[in-house]
Structure formats: structure tokens, C-alpha cells
Amino acid sequence: MKAVIFDLDGVITDTAEYHFQAWGSLAAALGIPFDREFNEQLKGISRTESLDKILARGNLSEAYTDEDKQELATRKNAEYQRLISAVTPSDVLPGIKSLLTELHDAGIGIALASASKNAAFILDRLELTRYFDSVVDVTAIRHGKPDPEIFLTGAANLGVQPADCVGIEDAQAGIQAIKGAGMFAVGVGTPSQMQGADIVVASTAELSLSMLEEHFCEFTKRGSL
Ligand code: BG6
Ligand code: MG
């Protein structure tokens, strides 16, 4: 295990909840039903794709011009940015700070593979930027999750082979992206939400360097049999 590539929202901090709230407000204003189960489909995917899915759910795909959609996406982002402006280092999820410290001390590469254009701002608010050897520039990514491109770019930025990487995700699209990249996939959530993950933890508090190394080792041994 030479590198760990992290998703941000829902893995490092609970901003997945703020995305849910901000989309929920917009959906309510548009009269579109919105709940947590549907929200699972939005995790990991871009702002514009999320809006398209929400509008499709309300049979409103054809009801708005591209300009209107741009305005709706901006409205959602304004609400999201209002919510994340209050993020502090105390919002880092359990176990994450100690995991980053252990990885850093062990010389293991650390990258961020987030679909969010707000990722760098949030890392700064959490005071975690200095731990990351690479923050993948999502604006340069052509194919979003579930495509593996963002995880492959993270590995390339760190100069490591995908097979030597662990990816950590809370989204179904993210797990698909990690597996598509040929990496070991850790899911945070329930096994039904994290289908295809190599291991699933209910909470980030379960993550540690020794725990990841142990599972990664078992996985690579099984693969070479
Ligand atoms: C992902 C989230 O990390 O970023 C998605 O899981 C979100 O819910 C996506 O839509 C894009 O985020 P942003 O901040 O660019 O709108
Ligand atoms: Mg996420």
C-alpha cells in the first residue's frame, strides 16, 4: 500500500449532509419529491448531473433552458456555500485526522479525489490541506465518477501504480470509480449502499493505518493466488 486516495464529502467531513440539505431546499422550491434514498444516487456526481437527475425525477427535464439550469445550480451552490462557511476543524469525521497523521508519518502518499469544486475551500476550513500531497483538480477531469479518471489521476499525481492504492468512498459511484481504477475500495456506509467495495466500515472511526494495511495485504495475497 503506497497511497490512500480519499473522497471528501461524507468521508473526511459530513458535508454530504449539507449537499443533501441544499438540494432538498431547491427540490422543495421546484415541487419535486426529494428524500435520503434518492439522494444516494447524487453522491459523488457533479452539480450539473445532480440537477439533471432531480429535474428528471420531477418530470421537468424539458421545462428549463440551459440558462435556467445554470441559475438553479448556482442557487443550490449558494445555499451549500452558506452551510459550509461554518465548517471548522471540529467537523473532521472521527478517525480521519489520526489516519492522515499515521499515513503521513509512514510516508504513504495522500491524495484527494473529490468531485466538488468546493473541495479546496473545505480542506482549508478543516485545516487539513497540509496533509495532502495531491488534490486532484476536478475542473481538469473529463469524466466524473463512476468513471475511474479522477482516482487514476490521483495515483498518477502521486507517482504510484493504481494497484498499490487504496480508495475510500461513501458513494456508490465512487466505489465503482475506485474498482474501475483497479484499486482496493473501502466503503463508508452500509453494505447495501457500498456494493462492490472490498471492505465496508460503518464509521470512519474504524479506519487506521494498521487496519487498512491488514485488509490490503489480504486482498493482494488473494489476488496473487
Ligand atoms: C461530491 C458530492 O463530492 O461533489 C456530490 O458527493 C456533489 O454530492 C459533488 O454534487 C459536486 O460538488 P460541488 O461542491 O462542486 O457542487
Ligand atoms: Mg462522498
> Is 80 exceeded by the pLDDT of residue 217?
yes
Angstrom distance (rounded) from CA 95 to CA 82: 26
Check pocket membership of 136 for ligand 1, CB cut-off 6 A. no
Report the alpha-carbon distance of residue 152 to residue 5 in Å, rounded.
Answer: 10
Digit-coded pLDDT (tens) for 149-164: 999 999 999 999 999 9
Indicate if 48 and 110 belong to the same structural domain: no
User: What residues contact residue 5 under an 8 Å CB cut-off, 6+ apart?
Assistant: 111, 112, 113, 151, 154, 155, 165, 166, 167, 168, 178, 183
Residues 182 and 99 occupy one common structural domain: yes
pLDDT attached to residue 223: 77
Q: Sign (positive/negative) of CA torsion 52, 47, 5, 207?
A: negative
C-alpha grid cell, residue 132:
495532502
Confidence of residue 125 (pLDDT cuts 50, 70, 90): very high
Q: What is the average per-residue pLDDT within 180-198? A: 97
Mark whether 137 is an active-site residue.
Answer: no
CA of 93 to the centre of ligand 2 (A): 12
CATH of the domain at 23: 1.10.150.240
Residue 208 CB burial class (10 angstroms; 0-12, 13-18, ≥19): middle
Domain limits at 121? 3-13+93-224
Substitution site in 36, 42, 46 for ligand 1 pocket (most atoms within 8 Å of beta carbon): 46
Same domain membership, residue 77 and residue 100: no
- The residue annotated as part of the active site, out of 7, 68, 91, 105, is 7
**Active-site residue flag, 9:** yes
Place of cell 447524487: 42
CATH number, domain containing residue 220: 3.40.50.1000
Whether 25 shows a pLDDT value over 80: the answer reads yes
**Which residue's entry shows cell 474504524?**
206
C-alpha cell at 196: 462492490
Q: Which of 36, 60, 84 is the last residue of a domain?
A: 84
Number of domains present in the structure of the chain: 2
Select from 84, 106, 127 the last residue of a domain: 84
What is the layout of strands, in order, in the sheet containing 184-188? 134-135, 109-112, 3-6, 165-169, 184-188, 199-201
Residues 117 and 148 in one domain: yes
pLDDT at 54 exceeding the cut of 80: yes
When pLDDT is cut at 50, 70 and 90, the band that residue 66 belongs to is very high
Is 118's C-beta closer than 6 angstroms to any atom of ligand 1?
yes
211 plus 113 within the same structural domain: yes
- In the structure, what pLDDT confidence band is assigned to residue 23 with cuts at 50, 70 and 90? very high
Quote the mean pLDDT of the chain: 97
Angle formed by the axes of helices 47-57 and 66-84, nearest 10°: 110
| Boundary of a domain, candidates 29, 61, 84 | 84
pLDDT above 70 for 139: yes
175 with 79, same domain: the answer is no
The pLDDT value recorded for residue 78 is 98
